[in-house]
A and B are shown apart, each in its own frame.
Chain A
Amino acid sequence: MSINRRQFLKIAGISTMLGIGSTAIVSGLRKGDLEASQFEVSPGALTAKRWGFVVDMSKFKSGEDIKRVIDSCHSIHNVPDYGNPKDEIKWIWKDDYEHVFPNQENEYATAELKEKPFMVFCNHCAQPACVRVCPTKATFKRQDGIVMMDMHRCIGCRFCMAACPFGARSFNFRDPRGTDENGRPFIKKENPEFPTRTKGVVEKCTGCYERLAKGLKPACVEASNGGIVFGDLEDPHSEVRKLIAKHYTIRRKPELGTQPSIYYIIGGNENA
């Protein structure tokens, strides 16, 4: 049998297309694709049905307390400091009441309340908009409620940043492993235990998944002297549930239906 050039090219082209196409389909539709962390929980790990936080700002006595909590997170997670707000990366930070809860508009609220600082970080929503929009499943929700980032899969489209109504996500606009013009590294002191990121990917608070796996509570919780309490929201006997039952607590923008997992005690001890 002989074929001419035209027929040969036809067959070659079609088989190439089929070959590439079917690999994508097969790998895409493969069932039981679980993340490693969901496969097996290490023996000493902290586990929960839905991790959550209660933030009590009355426990933060000074700016020093706030700074210590931020540093405890940013230093162990190799969060770079670019020294400008445009490229800024932050996992946990503070903002004032007025801006953290813009929907609690109250024109007669005292300046003291409006300017009161509140710690903000990823809400680890039960219905996360960021996970819904991600085109590669680079951000996903774990079975324990932690909203995770796979920074090796992220293509840097920043759809999740448009979707997050809490501004919890940051993007590596520059190479975090690099240095500024004066040779100062963006990551002051690298923690070899935790991966550094590459430019062009989104990152955020990952609920200290690496510490949970070792049986440790998140770093911010540990550094907060009781200002940030961590526990299982689904467990009625957990410390977080007890605090929510005892105090008047609010969440950021609950009306958007993302079901944030951070509860804020408003008024602190006076309300108890």
Chain B
Amino acid sequence: MLEKALNGSPRYWGWVFLLLAVIGVGFISYLRQFSYGLGITGLSRDVTWGFYIAQFTYLVGVAASAVMLVIPYYLHNYKKFGRIVILGEFLAISAVMMCILFIFVDLGQPMRVMNVMLYPTPNSVMFWDMIVLMGYLTLNLLIGWTTLGAERKEAPPPAWVKPLIYLSIPWAASIHTVTAFLYAGLPGRHLWLTAIMAARFLSSAFAAGPALLILLALIVRKTSRFDPGKEAIQSLAKIVAYAMTINVFFFLLEVFTAFYSNIPDHMYPIKYLFVGLEGHTNLVPWMRTAAVLAFVGLALLIYPNTRKNENILPLALIAVFISTWIDKGMGLVVGGFVPNPFERVVEYTPTAPELLISLGVYAIGFLILTVLYKVAIAVKEETEGVEIPH
């Protein structure tokens, strides 16, 4: 099937080469980091994880979101998602690939990465995170490729895929839960030490992932003959609305506990993020933007007339996507390190090489996504109108 990715319009190839160019720049920046060390980034002794790990965390959420299509389609027989469930699975594959790459570029000794498997350490959450991520990648590759291959032959998918599909549902929840446990089990990092961390991760994932998926579906509809279906998009938009509502609600729970209890350690990081601490305000404009976008996005998604308007819907989704990205892709990770164990504020700003490397990883992810979507859409265009039992 992969050969279908070799047959595209000049616009398709233009996009592919643009991505390759960005990957090239990112790769050169990575070589610089590889020879100089992670000192090339804005990371320090006090803020030891930054942009890379934040992107990893955010993308785990995007990957988990495929389950928001799989559950209605396979468990509730919601046929409208039949056409786009493959888009969710392929998005998951590219997102997990980016997760793995973001972890890789964050390692001080990347050549030793196999030590995680050579010396398996079950008491480390990172060991389990590797296992669930690898498993989720394998599941989605198997499921996505097999179901699409069957669809191409206009036949129902083989029976052995069904159990894997059902397995992928709890597995999607697991990748997010385990990733949240990376943070939620550490003593002395007050922003992270919260029992609803995994729940917050899941809610923000189920808002951000489907939001991106709808945006991608709208792009697919514009650039190909394949129509994901108006009703499917609307249903997904409702999922985003619910998930985002829960996400904001969960965040407000954190604010209540920190501020009503009036415990300084719990208030400091939230203060740092939204009003600044001891005059340090690097993230304040970002976090406030995220807050405004969250409420704007929510209002547009909850009010039916704006949600149903396909000119306004993308704006609402972009607002949700950016808001959750700032919250998790910047605030959550850095906020955990501020103030430091000595209650001193040391700020973090990513450097240019760090951003170029990140951009390169995103470009690799989008290249994988482009190729996979190209194949999927080519198959969909061939079999248009054929109803396949599942």
Contacts and interface: CB of A to CB of B under 8 A. Distances in A.
User: By CB atoms of chain A within 10 A, which of B43, B121, B123, B189 has the most?
Assistant: B121
B115 A153 contact: yes
A136 B341 contact: no
Interface string A140-170: 0000000000000111111101111111001
Given A129-B187, A135-B127, A162-B186, A155 B108 contact: yes
Contact of A257 (B112, B130, B187, B340): B187
A256 B187 contact: yes
A44 interface: no
Interface stretch (B45-53, B225-233, B378-386): B45-53
A173 B38 contact: yes
A172 B108 contact: yes
A87 interface: yes
B45 A88 contact: yes
Contacts of B48: 158, 161-162, 171
B219 interface: no
B77 interface: no
A133 B192 CA distance: 15
B107 to A, nearest CB: 5
A253 B264 CA distance: 15
A200 interface: yes
Contact of A28 (B39, B119, B265, B340): B119
A78 B281 CA distance: 37
B3 interface: no
Interface of A is mostly: loop
A102 interface: yes
User: By CB atoms of chain A within 10 A, which of B49, B130, B188, B189 has the most?
Assistant: B188
A199 interface: yes
A215 to B, nearest CB: 31
Contacts of A132: 123-124
Given A24-B117, A85-B44, A133-B125, A155 B187 contact: no
Given A88-B45, A162-B189, A175 B37 contact: yes
A270 interface: no
B164 interface: no
A28 B109 contact: no
Contacts of A27: 118
Size category, A interface: 35 or more
A251 B370 CA distance: 56
Given A102-B342, A156-B107, A174-B36, A162 B119 contact: no
Contacts of B126: 133, 135, 157, 159
B107 A159 contact: no
B14 to A, nearest CB: 36
Contacts of B342: 95, 99-100, 102, 167
Contact of B188 (A28, A86, A135, A256): A256
Nearest to A99: B342
Given A170-B45, A173-B38, A129 B186 contact: yes
A136 B116 contact: yes
Contacts of B264: 105
A171 to B, nearest CB: 6
Contacts of A265: none
A198 B337 CA distance: 25
A90 to B, nearest CB: 8
Given A136-B121, A162-B186, A155 B107 contact: yes
A95 to B, nearest CB: 6
A200 B104 CA distance: 12
Contacts of B38: 156, 171, 173, 199-200
Interface string B184-200: 01111100000000000
User: By CB atoms of chain B within 10 A, which of A89, A102, A136, A172 has the most?
Assistant: A136
A105 B262 CA distance: 14
Contacts of A154: 108-109, 112
A136 B38 CA distance: 20
A106 to B, nearest CB: 13
B45 A85 contact: yes
A259 to B, nearest CB: 11
B128 to A, nearest CB: 9
A87 B44 CA distance: 6
Contact of B119 (A136, A161, A163): A136
B187 A137 contact: no
Given A137-B121, A162-B49, A165-B341, A173 B127 contact: no
B336 A134 contact: no
A229 interface: no
B120 interface: yes
B343 A174 contact: no
A47 interface: no
A136 B123 CA distance: 10
Nearest to A154: B109
Q: Which 10 A-B pairs have the closest CB atoms?
A: A156-B108, A165-B188, A200-B108, A173-B39, A167-B341, A135-B126, A199-B37, A256-B187, A99-B342, A102-B343
7 contacts: A103-B265, A134-B121, A134-B124, A137-B121, A159-B124, A166-B188, A199-B38
Given A28-B120, A199-B38, 6 more contacts: A24-B120, A102-B342, A153-B115, A154-B112, A157-B107, A200-B37
